Amino acid sequence: MKKEYTLDDVMNTVGQTGLLAASARMEGGIAHAQEIYDELKRLGVEFGSGMPLMEARYKNTNRVLAGETNITQVLELGSGMSPRGLNMCLENPDMTYVELDTPALIGLKTQILEKITNGNVPPKLHLVGGNVSNSIDFNTATKEFSPDQSVAVISEGLVSYLSIPQKSELFQYIHELLKKHNGFWLCSHSSEKLDPQRIERVCNDIGIDLRENAFASHGIRDQFIDAHGFSKETFGYDGVLDELNTFPQHEQQKLSKVALDEKLGDARIAKFKATGSSLQEQLGDT
Ligand SMILES: C[S@@+](CC[C@H](N)C(=O)[O-])C[C@H]1O[C@@H](n2cnc3c(N)ncnc32)[C@H](O)[C@@H]1O
């Protein structure tokens, strides 16, 4: 019999952060964000709403992706309750969109998408439950892709939850995928600034210490990216400032540039390409 997932399966795991992001984004005027949130609320989610960073990050990722041509294959890692996959598949029936998140989160999301689409989840939207830094799960997620077409990888707010060895595993899998498909990876580019109160809350709620996962400096982060064979281009958030429902322009104008950056800095997007040799190639382990 098919398992029925509940909020309890997701709460107090890293999946809880996906519910929080969905709550924060629901006032952003994003297609299906409100419907997903309404379902979560019906199940008992009680997070507050309106975090402009989540709205800005989502819209900035879409903006950068829209600047690319002919993308018909997407892998979204740590997709949480994001409606992007649903929306992109509804807009383009040729789109193959694969989401990989933890099994309980994906189980719950599958039920919610079935409900809000009246059982008409697009056939080329694949929801895969697994661990992004596990090679078997990663390969399961990517087996849907045609070898002769490009793949865009997307991750928003995922990497900070992974330990340094897990990040390294994931970077190697993505490198291999991008080499094979001549693709790119859009990754929200965290400032790695850690709010002490948030750390305490996350540690207590989900048992992950963000301090241990963080790079010691931006320089070390950039060396890590370089060592894994990626080149990087960064996209600021200025292009979405006039689209933010939860943080309108008259509110933005009250802030200094520094304060605005404190609030929205993590909505920057890094675009990685696999231009160098992979870590295994560099270590001679091929
Ligand atoms: C902060 S949430 C962001 C969710 C979504 N990207 C969004 O912006 O709404 C982080 C997501 O990463 C997922 N995640 C964290 N570690 C993971 C792992 N090792 N494997 C798969 N998913 C993971 C969580 O379950 C959660 O849904």
pLDDT digits (tens, 9 = 90+) for 140-158: 999 999 999 999 999 999 9
Domain with 103, as residue range(s), is 7-283
- What is the Cα gyration radius of the chain? 18
- Quote the number of domains for the chain: 1
- Indicate the pTM of the whole model: 0.96
Ligand 1 pocket: which of 161, 168, 189 to mutate (most atoms within 8 A of CB): 161
**In angstroms, what CA-CA distances link 251 with 59, 233, 242, 245?**
18, 29, 11, 11
pLDDT digits (tens, 9 = 90+) for 250-274: 999 999 999 999 899 999 999 999 9
Cα 272 from Cα 234, distance rounded (Å): 9
The segments of the chain whose pLDDT lies below 70 read 192, 285-286
Are 52 and 263 in contact by the 8 Å Cβ rule? The answer is yes
The answer, yes or no, to whether any atom of ligand 1 lies below 6 A from the CB of 17, is yes
The answer as to whether 119 is a domain residue is yes
Residue closest via CA to ligand 1's atom 26 equals: 18
Confidence at residue 265, expressed as pLDDT on a 0 to 100 scale: 92
Flag whether 49 is in a domain: yes
pLDDT reported for residue 195 = 74
Q: What is the CATH number of the domain that holds 68?
A: 3.40.50.150
Cβ of 104 less than 6 Å from ligand 1:
no
The pLDDT score that the predictor gives to residue 27 is: 87
Is 268 inside a domain boundary? yes
Give the helix ranges, DSSP H, for 124-213: 135-142, 164-181, 196-206, 210-213
How do residues 183-217 score in pLDDT, each as one tens digit? 999 999 877 677 777 778 877 889 888 888 989 88
Q: 255: CA distance to ligand 1 center in Å?
A: 30
pLDDT of residue 246: 92
Q: What distances in angstroms separate CA 89 from CA 37, 137, 141, one per listed residue? A: 20, 22, 17
In a domain, 279, yes or no: yes
